[in-house]
Chains A and B, each alone.
Chain A
Amino acid sequence: MMAPQPLIKSNQAERTINGLPTQVVCTEFSNYIFIVLTQYGKIGTLVSVTPDTRSGDISVPMFTSRVLLGKDEPLTHVYAKNVATFVSQESGNRPVLLGLSLKDNGAQTMKTIKDMIKSCQVW
Chain B
Amino acid sequence: MAAMENGECDVQEALGSINVHNFTEKILEQNVHFHVMKFGGGFFLWVGSNAVLSNLAVSISSKYDSMPLSTLVMGDTSDTTASSLSQRLAKKTKKQVFVSYNLPMTDSNLTLLVENTIKKEMELHPDKF
Q: Which residues of A contact B (CB under 8 A)?
A: 4, 6-8, 10, 12, 14, 21, 23, 25, 27-32, 34, 36, 38, 40-43, 46, 48, 68-69, 97
CB atoms of A12 and B20 under 8 A apart = yes
* Top 5 A-B pairs, shortest CB-CB distance: A41-B40, A6-B22, A29-B53, A41-B15, A8-B35
Q: Are A31 and B53 touching (Cβ within 8 A)? A: yes
- Main secondary structure on A side of the interface with B: strand
Write the chain A residue with the least CB distance to B14.
A41
- 18 CB contacts below 8 A, A to B, read A4-B24, A6-B35, A8-B35, A10-B20, A12-B18, A23-B18, A25-B18, A28-B51, A30-B50, A31-B54, A41-B14, A41-B15, A41-B16, A43-B42, A46-B56, A46-B73, A69-B73, A97-B74
Cβ contacts under 8 Å, B22 to chain A: 6-8
Contacts of A43 in B (CB 8 A): 39, 42, 44, 96, 98
Contact residues in B for A8 (Cβ distance below 8 Å)? 22, 33, 35, 46, 51
Q: Which residues of B contact A (CB under 8 A)?
A: 12, 14-18, 20, 22, 24, 33, 35, 37, 39-42, 44, 46, 48, 50-54, 56, 58, 71, 73-74, 96, 98
